[in-house]
């Protein structure tokens, strides 16, 4: 007679629910209990499905990838880098997206655990203080972060603060004094917060007063009328905008055109990411470039080293790996006009309060 999960539960002395959790989510089971369940599974030769074999130590060669979205090509470029290397080395990927929602992040991690992934590559909202990452650390789950700029956890990123500093310095070198940063909700992105710190540092070193980041709806295809009016009206409007990512910069450019402002004559624009599509715009978008595909490749190599225990191929010497950024010159930045230069610096007009 073929043994059932009920037989395993009786043999091990636990409930059917406990045995089910030991099979499908072993990270949630006490190690002593898990060991007894595994012994009973072996003794009865219970094989419900491939997961049963995995309990005996056989590898799945399955890697989980958790990304905020694929709508932003940044993450698609990272995924391409991961997929190319993983496929060449006989691994499969399982992908889930979260929209930076904590509940969705938890669901994604739990789902991938149930599928017995050997490791995770993920991007989260806030790497330093993320409770789910603390749970992964306690459970011994192997993972590597992408784009999360942290020295506390295994990660691959650029130095977001330095990159933003370099980009804003370029705007200042073109004579701009009233420079405003636009971003999505800062609470949803540790990268955006680091970029604002870089913006503020560049402004302060130039003797200018940095403004709070103007937070806008990150997922909107259009700027809200109140935001557009804030950017385009008044004698002290900004002359240059630093956008926390290229997609946002493209949305801003479209809004400014509809407001009949000329780019870069009336407003200079700097993005962040270095998306290739930015060079297809008219005018081509100036951007701080991150090596997105290489970030994905490096994250894969670091995770594979953890999975196999072979660190010779990734050259890992520290938890965090920082890759170099670059500045792509584009036609969306121009020297400030004499009239605009004579106007006073940008006041802290962006109060941080949400727009209606």
Domains of the chain: 5-55 (1.10.260.40), 62-158+292-324 (3.40.50.2300), 160-290+327-341 (3.40.50.2300)
Q: 3-class SS at 85?
A: helix
d(CA 8, CA 15): 9
Predicted pLDDT of residue 53: 45
Neighbours of 135 (CB within 10 A): 13
> Which contacts of 57-61 are long-range, i.e. CB under 8 A and separated by 24 or more positions?
59/118, 60/115, 60/116, 60/117, 60/118, 61/90, 61/91, 61/92, 61/118
- 128 to 159, 312, 338: CA distances (angstroms): 15, 27, 44
Strand arrangement, sheet containing 286-289: 214-215, 179-183, 240-243, 268-273, 286-289, 326-328
- 101 to 42, 190, 320: CA distances (angstroms): 40, 14, 24
Query: How do 326-328 and 320-323 pair as beta strands?
Result: unpaired
Q: 3-class SS at 174?
A: coil
Predicted pLDDT of residue 339: 40
Predicted pLDDT of residue 130: 87
Predicted pLDDT of residue 238: 96
From the number of C-beta atoms within 10 Å of its C-beta (0-12, 13-18, 19+), residue 331 rates as: middle
d(CA 185, CA 294): 26
Q: Which residues are CB-neighbours of 260 under 8 A, at least 6 positions away? A: none
**The token pair that represents 5 in the structure block:** 């999960």
Q: What is the mean pLDDT of each run of 10 residues along the chain (356 residues)?
A: 84 87 77 90 76 56 95 95 95 94 89 90 92 88 93 95 98 97 91 97 98 91 93 92 97 95 96 96 97 97 90 74 96 77 45 32
Q: Which of 172, 139, 152, 160 is nearest to 34 (CA)?
A: 139
Cβ–Cβ under 8 Å, residues 156 and 146? yes
Predicted pLDDT of residue 138: 85
Cβ–Cβ under 8 Å, residues 195 and 160? yes
**The token pair that represents 83 in the structure block:** 């997929």
């Amino acid at each position: 007679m073929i043994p059932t999960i009920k037989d395993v539960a009786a043999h091990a002395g636990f409930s059917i629910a406990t045995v089910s959790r030991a099979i499908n989510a072993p990270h949630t089971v006490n190690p002593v209990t898990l060991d007894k369940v595994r012994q009973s599974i072996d003794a009865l030769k219970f094989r419900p499905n491939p997961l049963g074999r995995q309990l005996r130590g056989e590898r799945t060669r399955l890697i989980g990838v958790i990304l905020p979205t694929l709508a932003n090509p940044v993450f698609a470029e990272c995924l391409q880098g991961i997929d190319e290397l993983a496929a060449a080395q006989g691994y499969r990927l399982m992908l889930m997206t979260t929209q930076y929602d904590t509940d969705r992040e938890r669901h994604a991690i739990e789902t991938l655990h149930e599928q017995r992934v050997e490791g995770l590559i993920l991007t989260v909202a806030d790497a330093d203080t993320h409770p789910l990452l603390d749970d992964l650390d306690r459970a011994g789950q192997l993972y590597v972060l992408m784009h999360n700029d942290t020295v506390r956890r295994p990660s691959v990123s650029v130095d977001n603060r330095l990159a933003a500093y370099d980009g804003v310095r370029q705007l200042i070198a073109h004579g701009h004094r009233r420079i405003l940063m636009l971003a999505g909700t800062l609470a949803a992105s540790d990268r955006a917060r680091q970029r604002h710190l870089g913006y503020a540092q560049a402004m302060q070193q130039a003797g200018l007063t940095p403004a709070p980041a103007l937070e806008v709806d990150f997922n909107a295809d259009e700027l809200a009328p109140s935001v557009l009016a804030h950017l385009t009206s008044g004698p002290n409007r900004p002359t240059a905008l630093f956008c926390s990512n290229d997609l946002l910069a493209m949305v801003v450019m479209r809004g400014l055109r509809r407001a009949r402002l000329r780019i870069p004559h009336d407003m200079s624009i700097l993005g962040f990411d270095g998306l290739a599509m930015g060079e297809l715009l008219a005018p081509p978008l100036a951007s701080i470039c991150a090596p997105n595909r290489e970030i994905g490749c490096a994250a894969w190599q670091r995770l594979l080293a953890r999975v196999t225990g072979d660190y010779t191929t990734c050259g890992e010497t520290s938890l965090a790996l920082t890759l170099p950024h670059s500045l792509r010159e584009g036609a969306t930045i121009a020297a400030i006009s004499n009239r605009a230069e004579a106007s006073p610096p940008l006041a802290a007009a962006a109060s941080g309060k949400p727009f209606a």
